[in-house]
Amino acid sequence: MNTMNKSAQHMRPTAQEMAAAHDWGLAASSAEAPVRPFSFLYNGRSSTDLLPSWSIDCHTEPLDAHRTARTLTCTDPETGLAVCCESIAHLDYPAIEWVVHFTNTGAVDTPIIEDVQALDWTCHRDTAGEFVLHHARGSNAAIDDFQPIDTPLPPRSTCRMHSFGVHPWGMSSVEELPFFTVDADGKGLIAAVGWSGAWAAEFECDAANGLRMRAGMDATHLWLHPGETIRTPRMLVLCWDGERMRAQNLWRRLILDHYTPRPGGQPLQVPLCGLSWGELTAIEQIDHINWWKAHELPIECFWIDAGWSGTPDDAGDCFKAAANRAPRADLYPDGLKPVSDAAHTAGMRFLLWVWPGLARVGVEIGAEHPEWVLPGGEFDGLDYGDPAVLRWLIETHCRLIDAQGLDIFRQDGHSIIPPDTDPDRTGMNQIRYTEGFYTFWDALLAHAPHLIIDNCAGGGRKIDIETMQRSVPLWRSDYQTGPNGLCDYDAIGIQCQTWGLSQWVPLSAATTVDRNDYTFRSSYSPGLAINWFAFATVRAKTIDADDYDFDLCRTWLHEYLAVRKFFTGDFYPLTPYSLDASDWMAWQFDRPDLGAGLLQAFRRPACPDESATYRLFGLDPAAMYAVTNLDAPDTIRKSGHALITEGVVVTLTACPGAAVIVYRQVAP
- What is the rounded CA–CA span in Å between residue 116 and residue 86? 16
Q: What pLDDT is attached to residue 482? A: 57
Pair 242, 236: CB distance under 8 Å: no
With 0.85 as the threshold, say if the pTM is over it.
yes
Q: Are strands 95-104 and 229-231 parallel, antiparallel or unpaired?
A: antiparallel
- Rounded to a whole number, what is the distance in angstroms from the first to the last CA of the chain? 11
Cis peptide before 668 (omega within 30 of 0): no
**How many residues are given for the chain?**
668
Q: What pLDDT is attached to residue 538? A: 41
Exposure letters 359-385 (e unless 16+ CB within 10 A, then b): bbeebbbbeebeebbbebeebbbbbbb
| 491 phi and psi angles, rounded to 5 deg | -60, -35
Strand stretches in 105-249, DSSP E: 113-117, 119-124, 131-136, 148-153, 158-163, 179-183, 187-194, 199-205, 210-217, 221-222, 229-231, 234-241
Pair 232, 103: CB distance under 8 Å: no
10 Å CB burial of residue 87 (0-12, 13-18, 19+) is buried
C-alpha distance from residue 441 to each of 229, 384, 666 (Å): 20, 11, 45
Show the low-confidence residues of the chain (pLDDT under 70). Answer: 1-10, 167-169, 482-488, 533-547
DSSP state of 629: E
Pair 52, 74: CB distance under 8 Å: no
Residue type, 6: K
Strand stretches in 575-668, DSSP E: 584-591, 596-603, 611-614, 624-629, 635-639, 648-651, 657-666
10 Å CB burial of residue 205 (0-12, 13-18, 19+) is buried
- What is the rounded CA–CA span in Å between residue 420 and residue 422? 6
10 Å CB burial of residue 337 (0-12, 13-18, 19+) is middle
Residue type, 531: N
Q: What pLDDT is attached to residue 7? A: 54
Q: What pLDDT is attached to residue 3? A: 36
* Cβ count near 634 (within 10 Å): 7
- What is the rounded CA–CA span in Å between residue 666 and residue 72? 51
Pair 237, 244: CB distance under 8 Å: no
- Report all structural domains of the chain as residue ranges with CATH numbers, in order of start: 14-258 (2.70.98.60), 269-568 (3.20.20.70), 570-666 (2.60.40.1180)
H or E segment and range at residue 155:
none
List, as one string, the DSSP characters of 9-36.
HHTSPPHHHHHHHHHHHHHHH-TT-SS-
Q: What pLDDT is attached to residue 533? A: 56
C-alpha distance from residue 337 to each of 216, 301, 443 (Å): 43, 15, 22
- What is the rounded CA–CA span in Å between residue 40 and residue 46? 6
Q: What pLDDT is attached to residue 487? A: 57
